[in-house]
Amino acid sequence: MSFSGARGNASQVHQLVGMRGLMSDPQGQMIDLPIQSNLREGLSLTEYIISCYGARKGVVDTAVRTSDAGYLTRRLVEVVQHIVVRRTDCGTTRGISVSPQKRTLPERIFIQTLIGRVLADDIYMGPRCIAIRNRDIGLGLVDRFRAFRTQPISIRTPFTCRSTSWICRLCYGRSPTHGDLVELGEAVSPRGLYMQGKNCEIK
């Protein structure tokens, strides 16, 4: 299991069949007395107490990290909970440029960046227009961009939205919940923050 990567690592195997070695105290410093027994044969009372420091510290650190991430998420939600989709189009002409030619992004990240966004400019392949402004980008359109190596693609994002206290549907793009453009009146910021906060708790 350890060699396949399914569970555990080489250090844990050493503690099972070899010796546990040096443990750390609550301050993170190494204790001078090494544990010469292993978990298969069992530990003495002194060795068990010495090994409890690191085990308890790991449990406490996990709980503290989870509570800190939850508190940060709650504070951020309080700040941005007023950001609601109130308009269909703010009328902005700005966008963020993404180029399929430079390959500065990996293929998977490039596709995830485009899908669900809305075009800020028309896309031309020679004299022919293959996609018009304010069209949401699907997988079929991304495949055409990759196949024809067109000009840099300008997409609308919340950073380029002209709305001051809210956001428009076209600048936000598709909702990850149902895959369509977000509805008017939907609070979009708390959902994104909850997803990011969950990632922080896991890490």
Q: Across-strand partners of 124?
A: 129
Query: What is the DSSP secondary-structure string of 151-203?
Result: SPEEEE-GGG---SSSEEHHHH-B-TTTSSBPPTT-B-HHHHHHHHHHHHHH-
- From the list 138, 113, 133, 111, the residue with the least C-alpha distance to 123 is 133
Per residue in 139-168, pLDDT (tens digit) is: 888 877 777 665 778 888 888 888 877 888
- When pLDDT is cut at 50, 70 and 90, the band that residue 181 belongs to is confident
CA atoms within a 13 Å half-sphere pointing along the CA-CB vector of 96 = 13
Is 184:90 a contact under the CB 8 Å cutoff?
no
Q: What residue ranges define each of the domains in the chain, with the CATH number in brackets?
A: 10-80 (1.10.132.30), 85-184 (no CATH)
Q: Provide the pairing of β-strand 85-87 with 167-168.
A: parallel
Residue 101 — pLDDT band, cuts 50, 70, 90? low
Q: Note the pLDDT of residue 196.
A: 53
Average pLDDT for the chain: 78
What's the Cα-to-Cα distance from 100 to each of 7, 12, 118, 152, rounded to whole Å?
A: 39, 46, 16, 7
Please tell me which residue, 17 or 26, carries the higher pLDDT value: 17
Q: What is residue 159's DSSP assignment?
A: G
